Amino acid sequence: MHRKWTKWLNWVSDSDKADLLKHRRNVLFSRFALSGLAVIICHLALDTWLGLWLSAGFDLVICCVIFASYLLNRRGYHTCGKLLLLITSNFLLLVYCSLVPKSNGIYLFYFPLMAVSALSFHPSQKTLTYGLSGLSMLSVFSLLVTDFDLFGSRNLPSQQEELSFFVNMMSSMFMLILCVDFMSRTNSASEASLNRLAKEIQHKNEYLEKTNVELDRFLYSTSHDLRAPISSIRGLIMIAQREAEEVSIKKYLDMMHDRTLKLDSFIHDIMNYSRNARTELTLEPVEIKSVIDEITESLKFFEGSERIRITNYLVEPKWVGVDKARLRIVLNNLISNAVKYHDAGKENQWIDIKTKTSQNQMIISVSDNGIGIDEAYQEKIFEMFFRATDKSKGSGLGLYIVAEVVKRMGGKLRVHSVPEIGSEFIVYLPVEPSNEPKNVTADTGVENLV
């Protein structure tokens, strides 16, 4: 029998665990129970002081019922606790109101009781809400029909009746005010929640619209840029097949090699874009200098790179906690761009890479004395597929990917550039302090000549 009772209680409890609104109503019921307990204890003290032992007895019984309901609600048996309090209170009030004169005003407690019945249950539990509210209304109607003499009557002195009516009226008004206050706060919280959700939906819609526009541009541009070198290679192969001279064939092979390099670079940009969008940040100890050395070493075969002096200035600490793959993407794109867009007409061509870390932030500066960027284009160079000139050798994705990666890492990106003077890209990245791994020995050099 005990197991069946526990199983039923658990079922009742589980039915109330559906959402946050139910939880708020359960918390509200606990507050009502505590407030009602405080009110009934005051009534118990007053009735005892006045010598109204019948009223004091009813007060004591109601105190026990409220406390038991409160404990059930706190232990998770929410519906069971509410039913115990509301059904028992309706019955006790019906008996109590019948035994004392109606001028006592005890029937006034039916009104906050109906309000509690309406507020304590979730909208999905309409049957309980209407049933318990109807029970209170039926009880009041029964008392009115029988002139408050359903179970007999007990006369009280008029002075005590007036005092009891005043106390009961104030107590019931207090409980009603609590109900109204809860409804007001709930409406305010609901409005705030709706406004917050509306802003989130608006933000997500704007993000989706931006993503859709970029996706459309991405698909159009990638399909065009992928087909162009392939078509060019096919044409060169057809020409080479018709040519007999070895010199001409070598020329066409060199052109095919150049087209495949561009195609490979473009596919690499697409992979970086995809990797940044779908992978989470992974922090690991990274030696900044070694990453820059690897990148500059890979760029030494770029056209004209042999005339460029690349200097790597590193401020301690050498090791930081950062996403190495994303850091490599940022540095590779910025340094390779500085090499690609060097000014071949200048005698001394240079690229300076400076990194320093302070207060959990790493600042990376890549500056050069290349061809520079016109001021009118400096705000657009981070857009997808934007090319500042028809002579651009890139895919138009490089700086866009840099901006997206830096944003994903929680950083900021700035550019300062003057045409024919040079450019400087500054990256601000949040990092974590990191010690050098024991099994790694770092280089101490500060300069690389490419």
Predicted confidence (pLDDT) per residue in 36-72, tens digit:
788 778 878 877 887 777 777 877 888 888 888 888 8
How far apart CA 281 and CA 302 sit, in angstroms, is 31
Report CA-CA distances (Å) from 266 to 167, 227, 240, 259, 428. 83, 11, 25, 11, 26
How far apart CA 215 and CA 385 sit, in angstroms, is 12
Using one digit for the tens of pLDDT, what is the confidence trace for 197-253? 888 888 888 877 777 676 666 665 665 566 666 666 666 666 765 665 665 676 767
What count of Cα atoms within 13 Å lies in the side-chain half-sphere of residue 106?
25
Specify whether the CB–CB gap between 367 and 423 falls below 8 A.
Answer: yes
- Using pLDDT thresholds of 50, 70 and 90, give the confidence band for residue 411: very high
132, burial (CB in 10 Å: exposed 0-12, middle 13-18, buried 19+): buried
Cα-flanking dihedrals φ and ψ of residue 240, to 5°? Answer: -65, -35
The pLDDT of residue 442 = 41
The pLDDT of residue 423 = 93
DSSP assignment letter at 315: P
The number of beta carbons lying within 10 Å of the beta carbon of residue 101 is: 19
Specify whether the CB–CB gap between 355 and 288 falls below 8 A.
Answer: yes
Q: What is the pTM of this model?
A: 0.47
148 or 450, which is more confident = 148
Report CA-CA distances (Å) from 279 to 209, 285, 410. 22, 18, 14
List, in order, residues 6 or more apart from 21 with CB less than 8 Å away.
122
DSSP per-residue string spanning 118-174:
HHHS-GGGHHHHHHHHHHHHHHHHHHHHTTT-SS------HHHHHHHHHHHHHHHHH
3-state secondary structure (DSSP) of residue 70: helix
Using one digit for the tens of pLDDT, what is the confidence trace for 387-399? 766 556 666 778 8
Residues β-bridged to residue 367: 352, 424
Average per-residue pLDDT for the chain: 76
Ordered domains of the chain (ranges, CATH): 2-196 (no CATH), 281-449 (3.30.565.10)
The pLDDT of residue 334 = 93
Question: Which run of H or of E encompasses 174?
Answer: helix 158-242
How far apart CA 142 and CA 91 sit, in angstroms, is 12
What ranges in 243-342 are assigned the alpha helix state H? 246-278, 288-298, 324-340
Specify whether the CB–CB gap between 82 and 48 falls below 8 A.
Answer: no
Residue with tokens 């993503």: 211
Residues β-bridged to residue 422: 418
- Using pLDDT thresholds of 50, 70 and 90, give the confidence band for residue 435: low
Residue 191, pLDDT > 50, answer yes
List, in order, residues 6 or more apart from 166 with CB less than 8 Å away.
105
Residue 401, pLDDT > 80, answer yes
Please name which of 63, 147, 40 lies closest in space to residue 100, comparing C-alpha atoms: 147
How far apart CA 156 and CA 164 sit, in angstroms, is 10
CA dihedral 127, 133, 135, 138 (to 10 degrees): -130
How far apart CA 333 and CA 406 sit, in angstroms, is 12
User: Residue 419: what residue type?
Assistant: P
